[in-house]
Amino acid sequence: MKSKCTTVLLEPLSKWVLVTLLLTSTLGVRAQAAPVRKKTAIEAGKIITISGKEITNGIILIEDGKIKDVGKKVDIPWDAFVIEAKDQVVMPGFVLAHTSRGLESANERMPEVPFLSTFDAIDPLQPFFEDSLRDGIVAMLILPGNNTLLGGTGTVVKPYGRIVEDMLIKRYTGLKISLQPTGNTSRMGHMQRFRRYMADLKQYQAQFDQRKADAEASKKPFDEELDVRKQPMFDLLERKLRAFIYCDQAADVIKALEIQKAHKFDTVLVLSPDCYKAASLIAKHKLPVILDPQLIVWETDEQTQAEQMKVIPQIMQKAGVKFAFQTDTSQYGTRYLWYQAAQAVKYGVKREEALKAMTLYPAQFVGIEDRFGSIEPGKDASLIFLTGDPLDAQTWVDKVMMSGEVIYEKAKDLRLRKLLEIPKSAERKKEDDTNKADS
């Protein structure tokens, strides 16, 4: 039985239709989505679970949007809706652990704005989200850009929904710290600014605690509250938030480790290509990293002047560093997580690690591994249906399922269909050439 679930028609919309959609969403007059089916069974040619062995000719049983069972021998309830995917590969949807795409503006002019949230700047109508869904991404952490020292907190969303509330998976996730100096600021000045901010923050907290203690000692009411503009930094110090620290150079990794040690931050490093040079140091401190989309760099040997290729994920794997991939939509190959994984495997990274680097590991870094990243009982049925192996360039994402409901189908992707259509002029030329050859 073929699935007849609700799908997203990825079709260009005119400006007045977009305005109408936004107004109706704001007013609560939204189109009613089809309810998630109570029971769904997927009969797949291959299941890549990520958390265990791959299963050939397996079954995934879903109830109320959650995975109930997976295996070769799973009893399908008589009342289950069956999706036949016997010629396809089913695996967990991809997770993007770091991006600043989809924002109205990625950076602020002020250097310290930890109280801001990307939730307020996400634009659901940007093509980035449509493309991400088409590419098999089911969850992403949107963080501020790299040009602000303390850029604010992030938001985990799915790339599907008319308004941000519909897209939301997890709000108030991670706080961005960038060690890349901007403007006329030197690295010395940049780091000193951070140290000064932290010193002032701890002084403020000590004075606040003292006033509170004095009030309790004198049995007086204490109604003062912490400055909301500083609250995210206090949550960072209490490890309620995770620090995503961007390092623009290998030397920045040393500074990031100093910050992590001094303040006991729960830390994920976001690395530039140059930071591969600090792989052994990162491994020593057992910190996870998010790699730059540029996975290969070339360097000249100072003695021989010979060009040397450095494969960054291979270096990280050899050092024992857990890593996740990220994308760059400005280039064709690096736009895709599968391309990043395939490139890594080509140069020696284990296939299992490469697959985890775009599913389970980023889910762990973001803090949503209880719902995403692998096919296991109890997790969300947020899956992708592929026409072949995920690392094969000829493979397409045929369907995307979120919480048990198919929300994207390639066959109904109108924009993709128009993109792949042969222009009529080319068809006529082909017919003319055929007629001439026959005559």
- What integer best gives the mean pLDDT of the chain? 89
Q: State the Cα–Cα distance between residues 141 and 157, nearest whole angstrom.
A: 7
pLDDT at 1 over 90: no
User: Is residue 36 predicted with pLDDT exceeding 90?
Assistant: no
Confidence of residue 419 (pLDDT cuts 50, 70, 90): confident
**Per mean pLDDT, which range of 5-14, 182-191, 374-383, 405-414 is the poorest?**
5-14
Mean pLDDT, residues 173-184 taken together = 92
- What pLDDT is stored for residue 185 in this prediction? 87
CA–CA distance, 395 with 169 (Å, rounded to integer): 28
State which fold the 94-372 domain adopts.
Answer: TIM Barrel (3.20.20)
When pLDDT is cut at 50, 70 and 90, the band that residue 62 belongs to is very high
Helix (H) / strand (E) containing 423: none
pLDDT digits (tens, 9 = 90+) for 113-128: 999 999 999 999 999 9
The pLDDT of residue 439 is 57
pLDDT at 120: 95
Phi, psi dihedrals of residue 310, rounded to the nearest 5°:
-115, 115
**Torsion 232-264-168-129 (CA) sign:** positive
The per-residue pLDDT for range 290-313, each reduced to its tens digit, is 999 999 999 988 888 889 999 999
The stretch 408-429 carries a mean pLDDT of 78
Closest CA to 352 of 343, 341, 362, 363: 341
Q: Please state, in angstroms and as integers, the Cα–Cα distance from residue 273 to each residue in 56, 155, 280, 294, 341, following that order.
A: 38, 25, 15, 6, 16
**Closest by CA position to 111, among listed 154, 144, 155:** 144
**Start-end of H helices in 75-143:** 127-134
Q: Give 417 or 91, the one with higher predicted confidence.
A: 91
Asked, colleague to colleague, whether 1-93+374-439 and 94-372 share their fold, the answer is no
Assess whether pLDDT exceeds 90 at residue 317: yes
SS3 annotation, 287-336: CCEECCCCCEEEEECCCCCCEEEEEHHHHHHHHCCCEECCCCCCCCHHHC
In angstroms, the Cα distances linking 209 to 64, 119, 220, 229 are: 47, 31, 14, 17
Is the pLDDT at 13 greater than 80? The verdict is: no
Looking at the domain that runs over 1-93+374-439, which CATH code has it been given? 2.30.40.10
DSSP state for residue 238 in the 8-state scheme? T
Q: Residue 63: helix, strand or coil by DSSP?
A: strand
Write down the domain spans for the chain.
1-93+374-439, 94-372
* 87: helix, strand or coil: strand
Give the pLDDT confidence score for residue 426 in this predicted structure: 60
pLDDT in tens, 49-61: 999 999 999 999 9
Radius of gyration of the chain from its Cα atoms, rounded to whole angstroms: 25
Residues 217-276 have pLDDT tens digits of 998 898 989 999 999 999 999 999 999 999 999 999 999 999 999 999 999 999 999 999
Lowest mean pLDDT among 209-218, 231-240, 389-398: 209-218
pLDDT band at 37 (very low <50, low <70, confident <90, very high): low
Q: How confident is the model at residue 5 (pLDDT cuts 50, 70, 90)?
A: very low
Q: Looking at residue 10, what is its pLDDT?
A: 38
Interacting residues of 104 by C-beta distance below 8 A, sequence separation 6+:
121, 122, 123
Quick check: 8 and 411 in contact, CB under 8 A? no
Strands 150-157 and 137-142: antiparallel
Residues linked to residue 309 through DSSP beta bridges, in sequence order = 298
3-state secondary structure of 382: coil
